[in-house]
């Protein structure tokens, strides 16, 4: 399960991710991290069976956690299937099917926003 984990300024700089990993025993994969001097935001991938425990432990520490059920929306009526998204995606989210139409594998998406910016018809958006 993918989670969006936001560290507000009052908890920024604390080793909470390491503590949660140690306390839950969850193998957490950090798909994307945006950290600056004021706050931090992670997109993590957590095994489904450990997700609730991980969420509980982060929230107990004052960290905001949101489940990511859907990462990306492709508006098929706007898509011209040019492949611009395929060429820029660092995670291989997009591919052509046998009819040369864009297919999306949302499980791979880390919400980096590169495809959204590259799409010439604005057919992609983060959800």
pLDDT at 9: 85
Residue 123 has pLDDT above 80, yes or no: yes
Residue 70 has pLDDT above 80, yes or no: no
Other beta carbons less than 10 A from residue 100's beta carbon: 8
Question: 2-68 — its CATH code?
Answer: 3.30.70.260
Looking at the chain, the domain(s) classified CATH 3.30.70.260 span: 2-68
Share of the chain above pLDDT 90, in %: 76
Question: 72-126 — its CATH code?
Answer: 3.30.70.20
What's the number of CA atoms in the CB half-sphere (13 Å) around residue 50?
18
pLDDT at 3: 94
Structure pTM?
A: 0.73
82 contacts 118 by C-beta, under 8 angstroms: no
């Amino acid at each position: 399960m993918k989670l969006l984990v936001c560290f507000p300024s009052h908890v920024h700089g604390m080793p909470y991710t390491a503590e949660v990993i140690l306390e839950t025993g969850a193998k957490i994969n950090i798909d994307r991290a945006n950290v600056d001097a004021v706050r931090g935001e992670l997109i993590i991938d957590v095994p489904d069976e450990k997700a609730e425990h991980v969420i509980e432990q982060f929230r107990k520490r004052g960290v905001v956690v949101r489940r990511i059920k859907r990462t990306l929306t492709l508006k098929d009526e706007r898509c011209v299937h040019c492949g611009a998204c395929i060429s820029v995606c660092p995670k291989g989210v997009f591919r052509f099917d046998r009819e040369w139409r864009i297919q999306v594998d949302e499980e791979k998406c880390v919400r980096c926003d590169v495809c959204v910016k590259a799409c010439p018809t604005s057919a992609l958006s983060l959800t």
